[in-house]
Amino acid sequence: MTEFKPPLEDMSFLLKNVFNVEQLWQGIPALAEAVDVDTAEAILEEAGKLASTLIAPLNRSGDEEGAKWDDGVVTTPAGFKEAFATFAEGGWGGLCGDPEFGGMGMPKMLGVLFDEMMYASNSSFTLYPTLTSGACLALNAHGSDELKNEYLPNLYSGRWSASMCLTEPHSGTDLGLIRTKAVPNDEGSYDISGTKIFITGGEHDLNENIIHLVLAKLPDAAPGARGISLFLVPKINVENDELTTPNNVSCGSIEHKMGIKASSTCVMNFDESKGYLIGEAGKGLACMFTMMNYERLSIGIQGIGCGEMAYQGGAEYAKERLQSKGVGPLRDKTKDADPIVVHGDVRRMLLTARANNEGSRAFALYIAKQLDVAKFSNEPEQVAKANSLVALLTPVAKAFFTDLGFESTVLGQQVYGGHGYIREWGMEQLVRDVRIAQIYEGTNGIQALDLIGRKVAANQGQDYNVFSDEVKAFISTFESSAQADNLRLVAMVEQLKTSIASLDELTQIILERSGDGNELNGNAVDYLNAFGYASFAYMWCMTSLSAVEAQASSDNPYFENKLTVAEFFFARLLPKQQAYTNSIKAGVESIMAMPNDMF
Tell whether 523 is covered by a domain: yes
Q: What whole-number distance in Å separates Cα of residue 7 and Cα of residue 361? A: 10
The yes-or-no answer on residue 441 being catalytic is: yes
Q: What whole-number distance in Å separates Cα of residue 153 and Cα of residue 520? A: 44
> Are the C-beta atoms of residues 149 and 302 closer than 8 Å to each other?
no
Q: What whole-number distance in Å separates Cα of residue 212 and Cα of residue 204? A: 13
> Are the C-beta atoms of residues 432 and 305 closer than 8 Å to each other?
no
Residues of the chain with pLDDT under 70: none
Tell whether 373 is covered by a domain: no
Q: What whole-number distance in Å separates Cα of residue 529 and Cα of residue 582? A: 12
Q: What whole-number distance in Å separates Cα of residue 288 and Cα of residue 308? A: 30
Q: What whole-number distance in Å separates Cα of residue 91 and Cα of residue 155? A: 11
Which of 242, 441, 505, 512 is an active site residue?
Answer: 441
Tell whether 533 is covered by a domain: yes
> Are the C-beta atoms of residues 371 and 443 closer than 8 Å to each other?
no
Q: What whole-number distance in Å separates Cα of residue 313 and Cα of residue 354? A: 12
Tell whether 87 is covered by a domain: no
- Give which of 593, 581, 551, 548 is closest to 567, Cα–Cα: 548
Contacts of 31 (CB under 8 A, 6+ apart): 24, 25, 107, 372, 376
> Are the C-beta atoms of residues 558 and 566 closer than 8 Å to each other?
no
Domain of residue 549, residue span: 460-592
- Give which of 491, 511, 513 is closest to 569, Cα–Cα: 491
> Are the C-beta atoms of residues 96 and 109 closer than 8 Å to each other?
no
Q: What whole-number distance in Å separates Cα of residue 480 and Cα of residue 501? A: 20
- Give which of 202, 258, 197 is closest to 433, Cα–Cα: 258
Contacts of 360 (CB under 8 A, 6+ apart): 300, 303, 304, 307, 400, 401, 404, 405, 536
Report helix, strand or coil for 247: coil
pLDDT of the residue at 263: 98
Rounded to the nearest 10 degrees, what angle do helices 108-121 and 344-376 cross at?
140
Report helix, strand or coil for 522: helix
pLDDT of the residue at 264: 98
pLDDT of the residue at 177: 83
Count how many domains the chain has: 1
Q: What whole-number distance in Å separates Cα of residue 143 and Cα of residue 232? A: 9
Task: Count how many residues are written for the chain.
Answer: 599
pLDDT of the residue at 487: 98
Tell whether 261 is covered by a domain: no
- Give which of 204, 199, 202 is closest to 74, Cα–Cα: 204
Tell whether 246 is covered by a domain: no
Tell whether 271 is covered by a domain: no
pLDDT of the residue at 383: 97
For residue 544, the one-letter residue type is S
> Are the C-beta atoms of residues 166 and 251 closer than 8 Å to each other?
no
The model's pTM? 0.97
Q: How far is CA 408 from the centre of its chain?
A: 15
255 phi and psi angles, rounded to 5 deg = -80, 150
Tell whether 480 is covered by a domain: yes
pLDDT of the residue at 544: 98
pLDDT of the residue at 288: 85
Using CA atoms in the order 435, 436, 439, 442, what is the torsion angle rounded to 10 degrees? -140
